[in-house]
């Protein structure tokens, strides 16, 4: 099965690779300020990427960390099959149809839930968006078998952050830092996410999975990064369902409106879907660090 193809290597070499990454991140981040703009897009087959990481090759790890800190965006081709993506989306969509939208702070006992983030609700969030968010936590059990499908990939990405492969998997909100699995449905008619940067306090890499394909599931819009010469890099054109993107969290990125001009329909599976794997401060943390919106000039808003 795809979900266990690298499990043995993670168990045998994961801790060694994570230790090498920790040292590389400490050295690299001390040299200069973090990247603000994307430099280039680097496509790599997912299995080839995973094998490189798990080989615990110090030179290869150093090159990768240096590349990320320079602003490169990695597109890991074929991390999931299209069938896997579709199956997860269908289960999550039915989960949303089986219960009303709600909101819950990430405190002990927080259930899995979904919430429609429209033009009114978005004001409660740190970054402006229009999307339908579905939020899942390990302590609720894995009734939709989502974690079963993503955990191996997540462990590899955590190694890249310099974290132990299984770190945070048993944490509760009262422990302060937790894992949160999210699927976002960006509706046709204007689903979007404003340019922003993500926090670096818990993870060194933004980890996102494309679960739809432009030109197949929707026509226009999608994920982008800003380049230093005022260009916008259209990442969506380099990705399709099953691909994963990795970038340093301070690189400016967002989602251009999906099929703008149509009427938004919140009750349909026919949308742009995106998987987010995040390690976040829970609401038990008094001064939570969250994503940060930017103004039109690309500067962080205070």
Per-residue pLDDT of 175-201, as tens digits, reads 999 999 999 999 999 999 999 999 999
How many degrees, rounded to 5, is the angle at CA 98 between CA 123 and CA 96? 35
Domain 2-293: top CATH class: mainly beta
SS3 at position 171? coil
pTM above 0.95, yes or no: no
CA–CA distance from 156 to each of 6, 49, 141 (Å)? 9, 10, 22
CA distance 210 to 52: 22
Closest among 205, 231, 192, 300 to 40, alpha carbons compared: 231
Q: Which residues of 101-137 are buried (b: 16+ CB within 10 A; e: fewer)?
A: eeeeebeeebebbbbbbeeeebeeeebbbbbbbbbbb
Query: Which of 237, 242, 210 is CA-nearest to residue 77?
Result: 242
pLDDT tens digits, one per residue of 209-244: 999 999 999 999 999 999 988 889 999 999 999 999
8-state DSSP, 115: E
Give the pLDDT confidence of 106-133 residue by residue, as tens digits.
999 999 999 999 877 766 666 788 999 9
Q: Tell whether the model's pLDDT for residue 11 goes beyond 70.
A: no
Helix 7-29, helix 147-160: angle, nearest 10: 40
Instruction: Give the angle subtended at the CA of 97 by the CAs of 208 and 245, to the nearest 5°.
Output: 5
The encoded tokens of residue 41 equal: 């897009």
In Å, how far from its chain's centre is CA 267? Answer: 24
Count of other CB atoms within 10 angstroms of residue 286: 6
What are the distances in angstroms from CA 197 to CA 40, 56, 225, 256?
A: 17, 29, 10, 15
CB-CB neighbours of 284 under 10 Å: 17
Residue 78 exposure: Cα atoms within 13 Å on the Cβ side = 8
Helix (H, G, I), strand (E, B) or coil at 198: coil
Task: Summarize pLDDT for 16-44 with one digit per residue, the tens.
Answer: 889 999 999 999 999 999 999 999 999 99
* Other beta carbons within 10 Å of 198: 22
Ranges of H-type helices in 142-220: 147-160
Q: pLDDT tens for residues 249-291?
A: 999 999 999 999 999 999 999 999 999 999 999 999 988 877 6
């Amino acid at each position: 099965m795809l979900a266990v193809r690298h499990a043995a290597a993670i168990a045998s070499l994961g801790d060694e690779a994570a230790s090498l990454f920790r040292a590389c991140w400490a050295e690299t981040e001390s040299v200069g300020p973090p990247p603000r703009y994307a430099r280039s897009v680097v496509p790599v087959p997912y299995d080839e990427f995973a094998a490189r990481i798990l080989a615990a090759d110090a030179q290869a790890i150093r090159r990768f960390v240096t590349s990320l800190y320079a602003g490169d965006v990695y597109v890991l081709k074929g991390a999931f099959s299209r069938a896997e993506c579709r199956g997860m989306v269908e289960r999550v969509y039915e989960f949303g149809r089986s219960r009303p939208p709600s909101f819950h702070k990430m405190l002990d006992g927080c259930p899995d839930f979904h919430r429609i983030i429209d033009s009114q609700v978005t004001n409660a969030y740190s970054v402006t968006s229009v999307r339908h968010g579905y939020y899942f936590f390990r302590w609720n059990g894995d009734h939709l078998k989502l974690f079963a499908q993503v955990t191996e990939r997540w462990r590899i990405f955590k190694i890249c952050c310099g974290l132990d492969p299984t770190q945070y998997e048993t944490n509760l909100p009262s422990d302060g830092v937790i894992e949160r699995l999210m699927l976002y449905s960006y509706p046709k008619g204007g689903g979007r996410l404003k340019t922003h940067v993500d926090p670096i306090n818990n993870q060194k890499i933004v980890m996102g999975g494309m679960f739809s394909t432009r030109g197949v599931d929707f026509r226009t819009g999608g994920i982008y990064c800003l380049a230093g010469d005022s260009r916008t890099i259209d990442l969506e054109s380099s990705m399709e369902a099953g691909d994963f993107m990795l970038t340093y969290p301070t690189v400016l990125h967002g989602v251009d409106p999906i099929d703008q001009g149509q009427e938004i329909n919140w009750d349909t599976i026919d949308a742009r879907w995106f998987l987010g794997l995040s390690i976040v401060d829970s609401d038990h943390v008094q001064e939570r660090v969250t994503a940060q919106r930017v103004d039109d000039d690309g500067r962080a808003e205070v």
